[in-house]
Structure 1
């Protein structure tokens, strides 16, 4: 990342060279003459030298006959010693939205494997932006909602003398007893024992204690004491691994990645107080979501246009402060990697998610969730993040 600072010292240097080379000029500079400066600040380029417009000086004579230089220029609109080019970011907020449904085990492993190289490249490329917030979301609220419903769904005749649901007791017992068995063995759920956790089981709240099959199944205990990791975390990759291993035990009726994202960044939602401190006005926002299903009508509330507007509103209307990265099904694209979703392999085509990413133009980037590795995807994304950081103008105050 290239950032250019220009103060009064560089201005005086630019003026002094021509003056000393030519001696005293003949006439005064007209106050209306321009004095322009051009400074390179394009990603991937080295800042060019400051160039000034016409400079001149008045020559006057003191009593001893020696020359006196009066540099005559209008300082209106020019940089002073306290003025610097304020473009460029110092902070980045990373939001990861991870599908925790039963078919996402391999994809979570790929994401976790790619993270250390990704964050290392970010640290080496965004040399001025070393202040990170990193938060992980899953795509449901109370992941055991169906399991909890099962606790009261079984008719009394299904409960045997030991208090267990007996699926052989009759046709009405088959579904609730089978689900109860799955919830217990697969996700570690117990009727009357496993309860929702404050903030942990709120849609859009940062994940700090993944539970169920395939999850880290532990309290990640971030050093921040909050629902996000920051750049001071002693083991950044380890903390991310703990949170991002959200597991595959979601028993929610629908997966809602975009709604989780919207809830996370929108004020006055149930998730807002849980995530306090994550979003910063003077940081760029990088959203990465990974899912093997299309967020269809009937899943997340809203539309691709509405999801975009939620992010833009969260950044006070500055669309250029946002990067959106998506890993989802590419079945309907040329050269697709994904096969149709079957059991735990393949993916659904995701036209709505692609529409959302494409709505950000050059700030949106997507890849195939079925790729065997996400390393190249994230390495390409770094250049986009770097450019966005270079071009970012933090709000005043």
Structure 2
């Protein structure tokens, strides 16, 4: 949510016309097909294949089932007796396997953030190569790295997509960003940020993986196109990592994460899958907005502007109290959270994820991580969220280098005020409230502003459980680290991720 004007489906087009107004009454042009209920089917694997259950009007892709049959809702059931994976769980005794999934927000406000992230990719690879166990022995990790976007193809975005753009929906991105520089041009004449790509990836000498994801060990890798200068893995990640800024502004970070980790997908099958049994899984989510993984798209339907059953989560149009005009990203916040404001001062004492039948419940993702990946596939799962929280002001000087002051502990949920508007931003606080439904979780004139997280935060923090069930919950082992996307440098976030990995990975054998 940058201070630079962004002309994406959730913001204003030149001349002040809300972009979503173009879709009002033209639902078909916005990609919302009101045709027959086409229910494709897939085979449910023993470890749980993934269906986008109860979603309406969402275009289907292979292995994604769209159905209102609640008997298919395998992932929305309460988690029962989840075991915590400890020690080495691989069949060959290799305790140094690491699978890293990046889910990177590719909406129009992510230019500065992707530039910062790309600048830190070489640091991340070096930290992984330098990982040592408690006895200071090199781990020599055997690593897979896969990158995908936050775009699951929300109908409100369909008419704004460029002709050559297709939502990833969790599929791996393995092409060099210099070969898709059009992705770094915003929608509708918005900003251009080619430097998010070209600062770290050189045209004509782009390193990429030979396959859907990067694989490397201490001595080997699957990188092709490397020019021989520096670390080939760092070069490849710097080239495939930047995702561009022309994706959907209704980000679905949790759903694209889930689809990327679906064991039935091609990249998770065969002799060399991304998702390996027993490997530590590190999930990195980078976004400046709240998750909007949608279950019922009717609540975003512009044609329902006068239906209070469906427009109840829309914000009032600026300057016209009580008037509903367009669904914006505010629907994602209003329909996905419950906030308490006891003294009605628009500063909320608490905000928690809520299942109101609009977004996919967070239990869908928590249960999958715990029941399918941890319990069934014997994986240890950790998560790093670079999200809309205040900058961390103090870290533990010892591993895992987690935040001890600032960050989530300083997060305040509140509405927008005039003081929040950054220099050069033409919008008012009322317009911002209309667009996002909640005030900024962090703000930086250099990097922009970001919506506070609730859904991603709760999924991440659910991983903080004790290894020993008899251990008090307040002594839970840290497996979730959250840092601020408003930082100008993400090295502390990488330090926290590496600090957690230090306790999870062991040298092979």
* TM-score class normalised by the smaller sequence: 0.5 to 0.7
The 1:224/1:195 distance shift into structure 2, 3 A limit, reads closer
Matched, 1:131 2:146: no
Query: Shift in Å at residue 351 of structure 1?
Result: 1.4
**Aligned twin of 2:360:** 302
**Greater C-alpha radius of gyration:** 1
Which stretch of the first structure deviates more once superposed, 220-229 or 92-101? 220-229
Instruction: Tell me how far apart the structure 2 counterparts of residues 120 and 367 of structure 1 sit (CA, whole Å).
Output: 20
1:75-90 counterparts in 2 under 5 A?
A: 89-90=95-96
TM-score by length of structure 1 reads 0.57
Gaps of at least 5 residues in structure 2 are 1-85, 133-137, 185-192, 227-231, 295-331, 333-357, 391-406, 412-439, 465-477
**Aligned twin of 2:214:** 229
**Aligned twin of 1:238:** 235
Which stretch of the first structure deviates more once superposed, 356-365 or 226-235? 226-235
- Asked if the contact 1:338–1:369 (Cα under 8 Å) also holds between the matched residues in 2, the reply is no
Instruction: Tell me how far apart the structure 2 counterparts of residues 220 and 338 of structure 1 sit (CA, whole Å).
Output: 39
1:60-79 counterparts in 2 under 5 A?
A: none
- Asked if the contact 2:283–2:383 (Cα under 8 Å) also holds between the matched residues in 1, the reply is yes
Deviation track 1:143-172 (CA, whole Å, cap 9, x = no partner) reads 99946x46xxxxxxxxxxxxxxxxxxxxxx
Query: Shift in Å at residue 296 of structure 1?
Result: 4.1
Three-state SS of the structure 2 residue aligned to 1:346 is strand
Matched, 1:328 2:387: yes
1:184-263 counterparts in 2 under 5 A?
A: 189=162, 194=164, 196=166, 201-209=167-175, 210=177, 211=180, 212-213=183-184, 214=193, 216=197, 224-231=209-216, 232=221, 233=223, 235-250=232-247, 252=248, 254-263=250-259
* Equivalent of residue 123 in structure 2, options 106, 112, 117: 117
Instruction: Count residues with an aligned counterpart.
Output: 265
Matched, 1:287 2:345: no
Instruction: Tell me how far apart the structure 1 counterparts of residues 280 and 233 of structure 2 sit (CA, whole Å).
Output: 19
Query: Shift in Å at residue 275 of structure 1?
Result: 12
Query: Shift in Å at residue 393 of structure 1?
Result: 11
Instruction: Tell me how far apart the structure 1 counterparts of residues 362 and 278 of structure 2 sit (CA, whole Å).
Output: 25
Query: Shift in Å at residue 333 of structure 1?
Result: 4.2
- Asked if the contact 2:281–2:381 (Cα under 8 Å) also holds between the matched residues in 1, the reply is yes
- Asked if the contact 1:222–1:228 (Cα under 8 Å) also holds between the matched residues in 2, the reply is no
Instruction: Tell me how far apart the structure 2 counterparts of residues 220 and 100 of structure 1 sit (CA, whole Å).
Output: 24
* Equivalent of residue 103 in structure 1, options 87, 103, 109: 109
Instruction: Tell me how far apart the structure 2 counterparts of residues 274 and 263 of structure 1 sit (CA, whole Å).
Output: 17
Instruction: Tell me how far apart the structure 2 counterparts of residues 258 and 293 of structure 1 sit (CA, whole Å).
Output: 12
- Asked if the contact 2:149–2:243 (Cα under 8 Å) also holds between the matched residues in 1, the reply is yes
Kindly indicate which of the two structures has a greater share of residues assigned to helix: 1
Instruction: Tell me how far apart the structure 2 counterparts of residues 220 and 98 of structure 1 sit (CA, whole Å).
Output: 23
Query: Shift in Å at residue 382 of structure 1?
Result: 1.0
Query: Shift in Å at residue 265 of structure 1?
Result: 0.8
Compute the RMSD of aligned alpha carbons: 4.0
Gaps of at least 5 residues in structure 1 are 1-41, 44-85, 151-182, 184-188
- Asked if the contact 2:408–2:482 (Cα under 8 Å) also holds between the matched residues in 1, the reply is no
The 1:88/1:260 distance shift into structure 2, 3 A limit, reads same
